Chains A and B, each alone.
Chain A
């Protein structure tokens, strides 16, 4: 763990060690491990109490599992995005089973419906799309912001020079 690595470094931080006071990013590898552990525990409990529902969730959350596996980011944005959307897509099927009664018959009824699969995997797909398309949009917004800030600063600097002369920049000696 990042934090423990830092602590092991003692008073002399070695190469690659984190600077004292800096915390490991929240939800990093350790966070991912916790989620996985919690998921396994939850699924185990669910498998013991409602096996058909557990099977539906396992089958429906396969895109999330893939996302968790491929996501190397410490904060697991891909897993969180795909997972959230995938979770939203699984809910209708799970609720339908709940209404009918949790049994293998209701499981068969749900998994036999292509519409249910489209909703579960389509929602996960939407998550993938969100993850890939939002960053370029943000980059574009940041570029616009940057240009605007630069333009404003340049305009103000020019106005100051016009009002107070070149000496306001400190590059020309006062009165010189």
Chain B
């Protein structure tokens, strides 16, 4: 946690956030902390009297970066709006964290836990003080295409001394709805893993509003004695309204509102306009009631009777073995056709059982169960081997899995098994906002089959979470959000652990590939190879390219680590003098920390060409020498004979020459 050790050390200096803000690590605000972020006193240089605080987010779950900027321009008193944000170096944990500055709420938190009862608000207080501000806020949010996804009693603050008006707490420090109690989530969302609930829709926020109002009205959840699992089962079996109220039968003006907001079918649920109309005391437009199809006789799964397709889907997801038995036997089909009498459901179940060309592959049965669950309850999340995520919650669910909250393998198998595509196919109609999600799944799926660094499930992680910081163990604690910061972070990390060699891990490669579009697969081909020197060079090339993007111009500590295996690279040169020259110049180039220069020294194209050419010539020359040796060896025994022949010939020639010389001399002398 970002708050660890806070207060346990001697007075620490404030931590700067941008030019204006400072956060005080030694002054925690326990009452303002969020489950995923610790609150601290903060100050604003431009407004010294401003009553603000800072939330320092845990690194385990990603904040909603995309929402923070959108909220900044919002003018409202009913929400803690982010004033400033950024990455800070946090001394208590010795790492970097994402921090957000908010205006401090004037009142206390409504309740620290939903299990803790509070003094209930009266209907009048809710209708005239608490609700109007929240409705105005949600209207603005929905108009901007945003969702809060953190509307819950524990995220409400009183705005006045009388504890009537409320302000909504922050909604940016954790993934959407990740911290929501199941009481505040509609059934579809409650079925998903906490980190995989997705941005959802306005209807989800309105449901949470209804559940929160119910809490304010009663000071507790009357039906919330059960644990989470039972509560979801109750919601499915009896409906949310009845499940949350338990044995209570409310009367009064709020009943209509609560029924409208807690309707389980989003089409039946009140919209924000409906709530506003109701607040103004006008009549609601008549709404067509959606009838949930119930079977004439129940279908039993694990000894429990279920009357609805959603109920059976829920049971199947919890007991895949029972689902498999049902899929292979005739009873389930008979129940679907004759008892439930839902043709659409029967068609989708048939499609779920027929689809899947991966028979024999690992997880085939589980994927069939997942498709079966989707067919039975198309609005529910994709559920596979314990992993459950809304269609827009895969990204944050994958982050959570990588951070130890779930199985990465299961997410990968769900995507690889085209379960999201089947989910889309099962929807009655594709909503416009879902089209980009479907395209994204189609686009990222091939990455799974690519084993090279820069691809795989890690690449999908960064593609699905465009503002996620790099989770590479080398720089995770540096909270790097941008490719331009990677080199500086690697240099800092290398200064602390200079002992081990540097390697580009899969997270770093995937982060760079996802964030820097110019990074083609050629960046990683060498890094992925089995050839050690080639891999070292590939790493250097990636680092040189990163350094060219945003520096720093010198990264000597990183260069020191990356250059350690360069001996094998230098040995690729044949010429010993060239090797010696490069080895002699290497320490100087490493000390400069410029990777382009380092590469031009160890992998110079001109040097390489000269070396190859020279080596080829040398090999030819050596072959020539060996042939000459062979010739000498063969001719050695014949040498005396040859010498005799040559000698006799020379003797004959010499004698002939002398004879002619004597003859000439005698002739000359006698004449």
Contact = CB atoms under 8 A, between A and B. Distances in A.
Report which residue of B652, B658, B670 has the largest number of chain A beta carbons within 10 angstroms of its beta carbon: B652
Given A77-B651, A91-B662, A136-B647, A156 B625 contact: yes
Contacts of B615: 164, 168
Contacts of B571: 175
Contacts of B50: none
Contacts of A138: 643-644, 646-647, 650
A168 B619 contact: yes
A168 B659 contact: no
Report which residue of A81, A127, A137, A142 has the largest number of chain B beta carbons within 10 angstroms of its beta carbon: A81
Interface in A55-101: 73, 75, 77-78, 80-85, 87-89, 91-92, 95, 99
A84 B646 contact: no
B639 A135 contact: no
Interface of A is mostly: helix
A1 B207 CA distance: 123
Given A162-B576, A164-B615, A127 B647 contact: no
A133 to B, nearest CB: 8
Nearest to B650: A134
B663 interface: yes
Interface residues on A, range: 35 or more
Contacts, number: 130
Contact of B648 (A83, A134, A170): A134
B667 interface: yes
B639 A134 contact: no
Contacts of B576: 162-165
Given A88-B662, A165-B576, A142 B643 contact: yes
B666 A139 contact: no
A160 interface: yes
A168 B647 contact: no
Contacts of A91: 662-663, 666-667
B647 A81 contact: no
B450 interface: no
Contacts of B574: 164-165, 167-168, 174
B642 interface: yes
Contact of A139 (B572, B647, B659): B647
Given A88-B662, A92-B666, A130-B655, A137 B647 contact: yes
A115 interface: no
Interface of B is mostly: helix
B561 to A, nearest CB: 24
Contacts of A142: 639, 642-643, 646
B668 to A, nearest CB: 11
Contacts of A117: none
Interface string B615-654: 1001101110110110010001001101110111111101
B656 interface: yes
B577 interface: yes
B647 A88 contact: no
Contact of B643 (A73, A84, A85, A135): A135
Interface stretch (A31-39, A42-50, A145-153): A145-153
Nearest to B615: A164
Nearest to A140: B643
Contacts of B622: 157, 160, 168-170
A84 B659 contact: yes
Contacts of A160: 618, 621-622, 625
B656 A163 contact: no
Interface in A117-137: 123, 127, 130-131, 133-137
20 contacts: A73-B648, A77-B652, A80-B652, A84-B655, A88-B660, A91-B666, A131-B652, A131-B655, A135-B651, A138-B646, A138-B647, A139-B640, A139-B647, A142-B643, A142-B646, A157-B626, A160-B621, A164-B619, A168-B574, A170-B623
* Shortest Cβ-Cβ A-B pairs, 6 listed: A135-B647, A139-B643, A77-B648, A138-B647, A88-B659, A134-B651
Given A81-B648, A127-B655, 10 more contacts: A80-B656, A81-B652, A88-B660, A92-B666, A95-B670, A150-B629, A162-B576, A164-B576, A164-B615, A168-B618
